[in-house]
């Protein structure tokens, strides 16, 4: 009798999207509950979107990362790594209190997202595009941080 191999089913896209968005929402809720999501630099660049817009964009990006996780099975761990990087960002930037932490975090996240976009492209063009949207938003966020540094110096955020 030959052993049977069981095939691992990829996660359902809807489940992956809902789970990723729920984790992001819970994380943001915890940040808001403790007042950790409100940086207070004296001057904001004119092109900075309002806080609620940033939150909505991130929810959409987390949904996209959840879908990419479900679509790119061979690279699922790498996609999970991007999700963790994005979830960790508000915590370490708050704890370190500097624009430098934001800038370094953005550069690392952008580089990882670009690498991941190229990696998952072989498995799923859709997953690659979804990860590319994260890279694009982080590039915009990096421009925002650079503008904050120009307006406020390398000062602390709080």
**Model pLDDT for residues 71-116, shown as the tens digit of each residue:** 998 999 999 999 999 989 888 887 777 888 899 999 999 999 999 9
Q: Write down the pTM of the prediction.
A: 0.82
pLDDT at 36: 60
Of 25 and 110, the one with more pLDDT: 110
Q: Are 131 and 117 in contact (CB under 8 A)?
A: yes
Structure tokens that stand for 47 in this block: 């092109």
Cβ count within 10 A of residue 1: 3
Instruction: Tell the burial category of 153 from Cβ atoms under 10 Å away from its Cβ (0-12, 13-18, 19+).
Output: exposed
Q: What is the overall mean pLDDT for the chain?
A: 84
Query: Domain coordinates of the chain in residue numbers?
Result: 13-33+46-152
Alpha helical stretches, state H, the chain: 13-33, 51-71, 76-96, 99-120, 125-152
Q: Are 108 and 138 in contact (CB under 8 A)?
A: no
**Model pLDDT for residues 45-69, shown as the tens digit of each residue:** 889 888 778 888 988 999 999 999 9
Band of the pLDDT at 158, cuts 50, 70, 90? very low
């Amino acid at each position: 009798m030959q052993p049977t191999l069981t095939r691992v089913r990829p996660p359902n896209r809807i489940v992956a999207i809902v789970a990723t968005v729920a984790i992001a929402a819970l994380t943001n809720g915890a940040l808001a509950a403790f007042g950790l999501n409100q940086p207070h630099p004296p001057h904001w660049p004119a092109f900075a979107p309002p806080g609620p817009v940033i939150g909505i964009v991130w929810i959409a990006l987390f949904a996209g990362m959840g879908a990419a996780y479900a679509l790119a099975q061979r690279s699922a761990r790498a996609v999970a790594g991007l999700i963790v990087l994005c979830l960790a960002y508000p915590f370490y930037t708050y704890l370190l209190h500097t624009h430098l932490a934001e800038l370094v975090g953005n550069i690392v996240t952008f580089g990882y997202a670009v690498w991941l976009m190229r990696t998952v492209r072989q498995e799923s063009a859709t997953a690659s595009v979804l990860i590319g949207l994260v890279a694009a938003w982080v590039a915009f966020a990096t421009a925002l941080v650079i503008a904050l540094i120009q307006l406020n110096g390398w000062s602390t955020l709080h």
